[in-house]
Each structure stands twice: as structure tokens, then as C-alpha cells.
Amino acid sequence: MKAVHYSDYLQLEKILNAQQPESELNNLPAHDEMLFIIIHQAYELWFKQIMYEVESVNGIMQQPALNDNSPELQTVVHRLQRSVTILKVLVQQIDIMETMTPMDFLDFRDMLRPASGFQSWQFKALEARLGLQYEQRYGQEYYISQLRQEQIDLIKSVEAKQPLISLVNQWLERMPFLDQAAGWFEEYTSVYRASLNENERNNLQGFEKVFGAAAGSAGEDSAQGTSRQLSPKACRAALFIMLYRGYPILQLPFQLLNVLLEIDEQLSTWRYRHMNMVHRMIGARVGTGGSTGKDYLKGAVDKHYIFKEIAQLTSYLVERRRLPVLDRQMEMKLGFSAGY
């Protein structure tokens, strides 16, 4: 086995020589352009790492059977939690970017046209791999307008694959406890109905739409004709996990649902911080890539929630003291006392 040198292993010669400020090439030195380049290169490296984690998770979730108390599910949760930690770093990097003032940015901004963060094909591919569908995107007319054809082809190939949210839907639909807990959902429906006060009665329509026979399958909403990513059966399984997460066998499934919500939260936080930074830097001006700048970013903040159907299930929780009591056999299964 040959000796490996640190700089060779990391290919530092390539990395450290990958910054070529346009301001220097144009003999109009702008000190902060180096910072701008390095931060965006770091973003792209972290996007690559998150995509690497998500691809591995999707591979595990594609298995026809996934034991809810298995090393594989632990690996899924661990790698998604790592992705959340990386997303937190992406948010924190904005603090570094904001040490650059608007005048510092103006020193080199016009030299970048039409380069823009909007051209980050890796981030678009990551969103698609998680489950953000084309029809859910804000500003569809801009979505791929600034990309090269090979990047468009790559994104479309990613969009053709089954995303994480769809794999989660299938995993939830396979959960055996709902079929074994006879009458549980009917009893819970009565409990939920009784928990509503006069001002919350309209919540019952939402409950029936999400969980009941009136709801469409994953991919459609029969009442509204809109797209949904979790089927009624999957929603009932996710609700069961949330309500009874104290049982040992449901702790990992609950962590999985929770880490998906954290991913959405961190992506939203990153978009929000990015939006405010852009507003601070360029005000109401059009972005270098031709987008509407802050207005486009605000639309993405408001609309681009991938796991919102899981988050919305919290609208239908009741207090622990109201929960239907599970029979002894089911409690034994949820407590590892018997296999399933």
C-alpha cells in the first residue's frame, strides 16, 4: 500500500487554485469577491454531501421490507440527521457572507452576469430527490431557464426517480400495526371529534379529508384535484407513530418523521436567511440570473415545503390522556415483547 500525502489525498492543488475572481481578470480588484467565491464553492460541496446521504437513504428505503427496529432504519435516521446538521452549517455560512457590505458586493456584481445561485443545478436536484415536484415549484418559468442543457438533462433524470417522500409513503403504508390494532382509528376519530370546541369544528372536515374515505390516494386529492404525496393509509400510520411514540418499537419511526420535518425547517430557514441577505445586498433590483430577486426567494420560502403533509398531521393530535388504550397484545408487540 502506497503512502498517501495529505495534500494529494484532498487534491488541494485543484481546490486552492479553483478561485479565479472576475475582478482580477478585469483588472478591477474587488477584495470581497474571493470570499464570495469560496462561500459558494463550500455550498456546492455541502450540497454534494447531502445528496450523497440522501441517495444512500433512498437506496435503503427502496427495500421491499424494512424492519422498524433494524440497523438499516437506524442508518436512515443517522444519515438524515447528519444532513440536518450540514443544513445548519449552510445557514451559519450566511453570517460570513453578511460581513460583505452592499458596496463591497457592487465592486464586482456586474461582472458576474448572468451567473447566479439560481443556476445551482445541484440544489435543484437535491430538492427533487427529497420530493419537491415540478408542479409544486414557485416560478416554474424560471426553474431551468438559466441552466445548460446537460444540467437540465441531469435534473430531469433525477426527477424521474422515486423521491424520498414517496419512499416514506410506501414505508408508512407497510406498517403492520394499523391492521392489527382493530378498531383503533374509528375509536380515535370519536376521541378527536369530542376534543374539538365550537371554533374548531371545521377541523373535522380536514381530518376526514386527510385520513378518511373522501381523501384521494397519494398523487391526487379527490376533493380538490390537487397533488398529495401521502396516502390516507400512510397518514394514519404516521399519526399512530406520533401518538404512541413512547413505545420502544415506534421510537425510530418517530425519529425518522421528526428528522424529515427538521430538513424542511432548515431548508426554509436557509431560504429565509438567503432572501433577507439578498434584500440587504441589492434591495429591489433584479438578480444577476434574471430572477425577481427577493420576490422570487420569498415565493420559494412560502411554497417549497417538501414534507408539509407530515407537519400538518400535528393539527389532529389529542392529549395523551385522551388516547385510545391499546390492548395488551398490541402493547407487547410495541414493547419488543413479541415479534411481528
Q: What is the pLDDT of residues 257-294, one digit of tens each?
A: 999 999 999 999 998 898 888 888 877 665 554 555 56
Cα 228 versus chain centre, distance? 16
Q: What pTM, to 2 d.p., does this model score?
A: 0.88
The CA–CA distances, whole Å, from 199 to 203, 204, 315 equal 9, 11, 14
* 286 vs 272: CA distance, rounded Å: 18
**145 compared with 12, residue with greater pLDDT:** 12
Could you give the count of Cα atoms lying within 13 Å of 151 in the half-sphere of its Cβ? 14
pLDDT at 28: 94
Is the per-residue pLDDT at 314 higher than 80?
A: yes
Residue 146: the pLDDT is 77
Q: Which three cell numbers stand for residue 167?
A: 419512499
Q: What is the pLDDT of residue 120?
A: 86
The annotation status of 40 as a binding-site residue, yes or no, is yes
User: Using CA atoms, how far apart are residues 123 and 44, in angstroms rounded to an integer?
Assistant: 8
Task: Assess whether pLDDT exceeds 70 at residue 323.
Answer: yes
Query: pLDDT at position 331, please?
Result: 86
Reported confidence tier of residue 299, pLDDT bands at 50, 70, 90: confident
Nearest residue to 260 (alpha-carbon basis) of 92, 94, 143, 87 = 87
Q: Please give the radius of gyration of the chain, using alpha carbons only, rounded to the nearest integer.
A: 24
Q: Which residues of 158-176 are buried (b: 16+ CB within 10 A; e: fewer)?
A: bbeeebbbbbbbbbbbebe
Cell of 317: 393530535
Lowest mean pLDDT among 80-84, 114-118, 148-152, 332-336: 114-118
pLDDT confidence band for 214 (50 / 70 / 90): very low
Average pLDDT over residues 310-314: 95
Query: Which of 264, 277, 243 shows the shortest CA–CA distance to 309?
Result: 264
What is the pLDDT at residue 140? Answer: 61
CA dist list (Å): 167 to 77, 174, 284: 14, 11, 40
Mean pLDDT, to the nearest integer, of 35-60?
97
304 is in an annotated binding site: no
Q: How distant, in Å, are the alpha carbons of 77, 145, 263, 270, 285 from that of 56? A: 11, 30, 16, 23, 40
pLDDT score at 138: 64
Q: What is the mean pLDDT of residues 296-317?
A: 85
Mean residue pLDDT across the chain: 86
282 is in an annotated binding site: no
**pLDDT band for position 60 (cuts 50, 70, 90):** very high
pLDDT at 339 over 60: no
Q: Is 78 annotated as a binding residue?
A: no
Residue 13: predicted pLDDT: 96
Residue 36 counted as an annotated binding residue: yes
What residues have CB less than 8 Å from 308, skipping those under 6 apart?
Answer: 264
Residues 6+ apart with CB under 8 A from 140: 134
What is the distance between the alpha carbons of residues 200 and 32, in angstroms, rounded to a whole number? 54
Domains defined for the chain, CATH in brackets: 30-171+227-334 (1.20.58.480)
Which residues touch 322 (CB under 8 Å, ≥6 apart)? 191, 195
Q: What is the pLDDT of residues 103-147, one digit of tens each?
A: 999 999 989 877 777 688 899 899 999 998 877 776 666 667 777
96 is in an annotated binding site: no
Cell 433590483 belongs to 285
